[in-house]
Structure 1
Amino acid sequence: MLSDETNSLAPLDAFQAGVRNVCGQFLVSPPDGARDMRGLITLKQRQALAVAVVRNSAARINRDWRCIRQDSAEHLFLVLQKSGHSVMRQGDADVRLAPGDFIMIDSAYPSRFLYGDSGSLQYSVHLNRSEFAHRFGTAALGGCPIPGSTEIGMALRATIDRLVNSEDAAAQQHFIGEAFFNLMGAYLCGLEAGALASARTSDELLVTKARAYIRQRFRDPACTPASVASAMGVSLRALQRRFQAAGLSLSECLIATRLDYVCNRLMAQKSAGTSERISTIAFDAGFNDLSYFNRQFRARFRVPPGEYRLHAATSSAKNPTQ
């Protein structure tokens, strides 16, 4: 299907500009060994919903942390694979999409899209992240797949097809949009209850997202287990359960990230020849109680931070090449 339309597609630079205009900061590149690729992206506004129609021939599209810092877009993209195949990554999972399959992509976290050399046609429903979380009480998880063979998948596909090809009046488009949100609500309720096959994968992705959030925000003393859960759109108890299921502790993950930062700063001093106050480093790592910091440091490294730094300096003198 797509190969017959290749001549009407725009070259790489134009497609890149179109993607950034419609979706935000993404990096588009041709496949390995190629100098160019062709693609086309158009946006169809349907009352409360916007749907991007994306055609491309064998591109790779990435959104990394640098892209995320360059724009303030916080959207969810429900991507429907209409024709061709693709591999979508968010978190630590690769999700292979065949025609009819869906995946939810969260623009606030890195993602990567790979397309086969036969080309691809996708519909991407753009959803405001905060409004979506407010409507359903939880943000959809980036990387969550919805198989097209499920009842909800088939119903969503029919609804989105109707939206894209709609010539209906505004009132009818509003009705179709509400049908879409009702279907998404049913899917998310099933996901939260663990009734869907992808629930386990979704829990793993939530933990991955929470850990990424901690790595970005741990130096802020206001970054607490409760604030992390709020940012993820789930209750603190629900997030703690998911961490425990993964063999982790949410609080320990946050503390370990801060202690690793302190450790790296202390180790760096051996090569820089500096000697910052340990309290300064601890506060900069997000600790706001020195007694608590000292207890946690000794529990982790079996020595107080001052002795740890002295040992690092001594080790450096004995091993100058390290």
Structure 2
Amino acid sequence: MTSTVPDCDPIRFSTCDWAERDRLAALRELCGREIMKLAPEPLSGGPFHLATTMRSFPGLGTGTWAVGNLQVARTREFVRDGNSDDLLMLVVSSGVQTVSQRGWERTLNAGDACLMSMAETATMSYPSSSHLTSLRLPRRMLAPLVPNLDDAVMRPVPRDAHALRLLARYVELSDGFELTTPELRHVVTNHVHDLVALVIGANRDATAQANGRGVRAARLAAIKADIVENLGRHDLTIGAVAARQRLTPRHVQRLLEGDGTTFSEFVLGQRLVRAHRLLADPRFLDRSISTVAFEVGFGDLSYFNRTFRKLYGATPSDVRAAAWRDRR
């Protein structure tokens, strides 16, 4: 699945947004002809659904999808739509998807991926509810990175491939990135190209470049996300994060140092940010300051108060008092 919308702002829609009697016609017209360039048809007479969030900017289009009881086809009409230079990578996160192209048929389960060509007819079927990620990539930008790029089309990608796991996680996390400038969008696009090239078979120079750029960025993003997701745990250590990320503690520390911080500094900063958010939110006024401190991972209240004031120039009590005034 793909998008031809040139705006980097997210585009979201769902068949649930339309009256049931209008869903198929709306999907065929708006999503098929104007955005996705695919022809949708229900697989059976039962209900079907499609919901997506898409972003598109030069060199990359991304989409997250929830689909069920649908088949979408890349027809000859759409092959002539001007996107014939694009490749499409599909990564399934749950459910089952069947893809057909060049006379081959592949069944993709959770964790599987497949590269397809937008220059050729194809079908993608979702008999039951499935979730997946799509990446639209210009062939001309991948060709210098991957020898015999065309041979990678419809070639199975092992689900346990480390580069594929890094790619899937990085794309997931990038949905939360604020890509407010062309430079930031260019950086993320390069990282995704690096990781896709590794997944499908990068050449020696591209592998070296990816290890120093895309892989590093994906690992750093995953480390930071791991820390943020586990801030409230009092056993949050660099060793625990390294184990979950399948890295050594020293590798984790080097990646953070390359970003201008340390493990301890990043954890402290994120805990203080979360604490400030909770204290300033009128919805959480029933929580005491000590409760908030404990919830975000602090075990020493005096240390929490001291570091909070140093960062924000105000005490936790000051922030809480302001929240009470806002509520009134």
TM-score by length of 2: 0.49
TM-score by length of 1: 0.49
